[in-house]
Structure 1
């Protein structure tokens, strides 16, 4: 009974406290003069966005935010000048700030604009507009199973799969932009290739490279092995396919090394390119082909056949224990290493310079096709 009396006493005191003004009544606060127009931000797409899909018509989610110092009245979204959505005060949970997302389902190939307009209660208006594009689906060349142009992103235009860069940047390339790498950043990129790439029996690998000569210890040669384009093998020291610049290379005598592993056991090394000149500081077109019908590797520079080798196994190629492709380093220089067989080596380094226009085909190009590709792509 004492406890109940105590509760009743507290209730009575609280009533008197309210009457005596101990708790303020809720009252309107003057927001002040409306001095600012609304602010509008478009989070996606951003200026210059390229929409890449395998279809000619796709959808896009437009994300935006509008705010005002006093009160928003309406927010509208337009694509290519036509309004596709509008919002009013009844849609705003916060009358000063609105975060929205609108799906536009009829985005066709070509250049486009998105505009978001916000109007406040006093009629002040702000419009923000961004320009972007819907790219036409890429049409692969005959036998082409991978094409990475490195135009501000690491994406295969054949499958639209994306890769991952480690400390990479992008710079002017042979066509558009190129992957820009630097030993000071220990930069490289990796890409999980599709089965259509790792399952080839014949192949052609084509890419452009512009390496810089880095000799930090003044030895007269590069600081270590420079990986260019490589296919990793997750269980062996060397990868399924290694394409690198050998230690000791200098501007007058560059040593190119090619290594291919078949069935994760049989290996072929191509080691007779030891005096390549003009490799550093200039763009060059690098092509390697393998023709299973003749068991022959051909290596071309700028459309010219440089060396030929015969595989140790003969017949169709077979990669096993396949891991990601790596650009700008050999497989054990990544962090973590792409192979369980070894880790970072002191005699290996990282490419400084640019890589561009990486293509991979499931067939061996002829000399004429290699020359044509070089002439079509050369800057």
Structure 2
């Protein structure tokens, strides 16, 4: 059977976080053990200095080095680990924009990291991205760390290698800033990709950009450490023209004009909870929404977004109320409060 790319629903923004992921309940693999080693090494830094602890750290260093030196292993060598992402990205869905080409997404990501071992190399994930500029700053001293070169890895096509003049200092925190241009895919529903719908009354075609990052497609939209164990908060900002609005994992906190681009704006969203890169969600569309009755789920907004003609038909109201009822049920059943400020889902077919 031939599959057409025309999904009725796109990912629910945030629902997977409080109640678990279908990908987490599996047997431990060698690579799972490797992630556990790295995280144990990091957490030992938070404990008091003792002979036993430092002895264990030496063992971890050796085990991590043995793993990452094997070219068959596809995980990052983790010279640094991420602590926080600050992502700004602008999907271009209209022609004649001064921001860039149609179906591209220029952006910048700043990643706060901690050095895990002395190294003149920083390796991260990037696939089909054009990396325009790389800058690294020591957060303690404010000193720029000279970047000798940056390029796609010659060994692994999904990895990007930054070479520095000087070694990173273990335990120091650095900010890695990368200017990039990502594709808005028109062929594959993963990474950052284009969708469309047709209004049956006007026959007009409308485009939207949305994301599907699971399992490992965040690296197609922005450079980063695209491994599920490396959970951090995200501060996300999305550029869009006045014809559209944007959605992300957290709630919108501000909108400002995009300097030098009349009719364009930057939407900034609240800091997320700690989460993996594959859970980052972005949508730019002309959708409207229906909202569930606020009494169903503790006053938190639960919305279904979709084309105006569908929302006018009442297509979103039922879905919004059922979503709110499901969230209320699971909160009670698990005795675990939903940690996000809102819940969005979307329909366009």
TM-score by length of 1: 0.26
TM-score by length of 2: 0.27
Structure whose alpha-carbon radius of gyration is higher: 1
Q: Which structure is higher in helix share?
A: 2
Q: Which structure is higher in strand share?
A: 1
